[in-house]
Amino acid sequence: MAATGEATSTPAVEAGVEVAFYHLTATPLEKALPALLERVLSRGWRAVIRAGSSERVKALDTQLWTYDPGSFLPHGAEGDARADRQPVWLTSGDDLPNDPQVLVLVDGMDVEPAGLAGFIRVLDLFDGGDDGAVAAARDRWRARKAAGHALTYWRQKPGGGWEKAG
């Protein structure tokens, strides 16, 4: 203990973040993402989705507006106004304008350990039909485990639902 009564070493601020890996095998990202975001919003959380390119952001933006005519998933994307008011924000950058509690990584996106600070949960979605994406997800899993994160692995069921594995 230090003279002030504080511990001399503290765990990394990002170590408390729960990281959930979602292995897409039955449906593509565009079909699986809306349901996961609905769960995030039902908890009162905000999310930022980090995609691999501006083109991908535009495609996901369109998908979230049109995936179900009977649903409304409020969101905005880079270039939209009032980013701070959006419960879900899509970006290809590092911006966090909506004060999110959840970070959603798609397209193999990763973040430096310090970039996880402040999030409650990280959702890492990867394509099970792409051997490179699976290998990269395994690398991210090992890195997160070494950093002390609580990890969960979710396998997609044939009908598109999820089951916790491992």
Q: Which residues of 140-159 are buried (b: 16+ CB within 10 A; e: fewer)?
A: bbeebeebebebebbbbeee
Phi/psi for 13 (5° steps) reads -60, -30
pLDDT in tens, the chain (166 residues): 333 333 333 233 345 799 999 999 999 999 999 999 999 999 999 999 999 999 999 999 999 999 999 999 999 999 999 999 999 999 999 999 999 999 999 999 999 888 898 999 999 999 999 999 999 999 999 999 999 999 999 999 998 899 999 7
159: which 2 tokens?
Answer: 């009908």
**What pLDDT does 160 receive?**
81
